[in-house]
Amino acid sequence: MDEEFKQNEYRKLHEMQQYANTQDCLQQFILRYFGQTGTEPCGRCGNCLDDRAFQDVTVDAQKVLSCVKRMRERFGKSLVAQVLTGAKTARVRELHLNDLLPMAS
């Protein structure tokens, strides 16, 4: 595949990811994509109407990533969840993963 074409496809994919993850007005995002700046939020799109409270999950995310790291990045989400919740299943005990606890809470 032509390298320039490939880079352009990656750029478009990246733009799509940003659209999917933005918490800003979706209409503004699209307008900005097409070069129109300085617009106001529309007040009608899913993001403008989203009234869920902002929640900082940084510490929780750090705990999860720390656990994954301490499990040497060798296991999937089910086992990681068991270790994080302190489950003493046969598999957790067999792999001595309960020794990783207690984690800071």
45 versus 95: smaller Cβ distance to Zn ion = 45
Is the sign of the CA dihedral 63, 66, 75, 82 positive or negative? negative
Binding footprint of Zn ion, residue count (CB under 5 A): 6
Question: Would you give the binding string for Zn ion spanning residues 12-51, x where CB under 5 A is met?
Answer: -------------x-x-------------xx--x--x---
Alpha-helical segments (H) within the chain: 3-21, 26-33, 58-70, 77-84, 90-94
Report which residue type is found at 34. Answer: F
Residues that bind Zn ion (CB under 5 A): 25, 27, 41-42, 45, 48
